[in-house]
Amino acid sequence: MSDGLPEGVEVTGSVPTEHSGILSREALAFVADLARGFDRQRIELLQRRQDRQAELDAGEMPGFPCGHGTGAGERVACPHPHPPTLKTAAWRSPGRPNAR
């Protein structure tokens, strides 16, 4: 499958004949363009993920967007374990609506 591959693309495994249409030159070029276009962002996000995991491993508690008197985008531990609407919601039986 090495013939006619897009520049910088290498297929290292064997490709069964029934899958050769999936790994067409056009498909491989598309994936290569995506990889080239998003590689920097992908690497940055993976680094942020590793950094955050290290913080959690060190004992830092996760914070969640809460909106209880905080600024937009601020992440804090939410003082309410459930949204107020869930605490006050009444449960009703789905029985017949006009039954008396």
CA–CA distance, 42 with 36 (Å, rounded to integer): 10
CA–CA distance, 62 with 77 (Å, rounded to integer): 7
- In a domain, residue 30? The reply is yes
Number of domains in the chain: 1
- In a domain, residue 46? The reply is yes
**What is the per-residue pLDDT for 4?**
80
**What is the per-residue pLDDT for 47?**
97
Please give the helix or strand (H or E) that residue 85 lies within, else none: helix 84-88
**What is the per-residue pLDDT for 19?**
86
Q: DSSP for 39-73? A: HHHHHHHHHHHHHHHHHHHTTPPP-EE--SSPPTT
- In a domain, residue 47? The reply is yes
Average pLDDT over residues 13-26: 88
Full residue range of the structural domain in which residue 45 is found:
17-61
Answer whether 0.75 is exceeded by the pTM.
no
Q: What is the DSSP letter of 2?
A: -
Residues 44-82 have pLDDT tens digits of 999 999 999 999 999 988 876 555 555 555 555 555 556
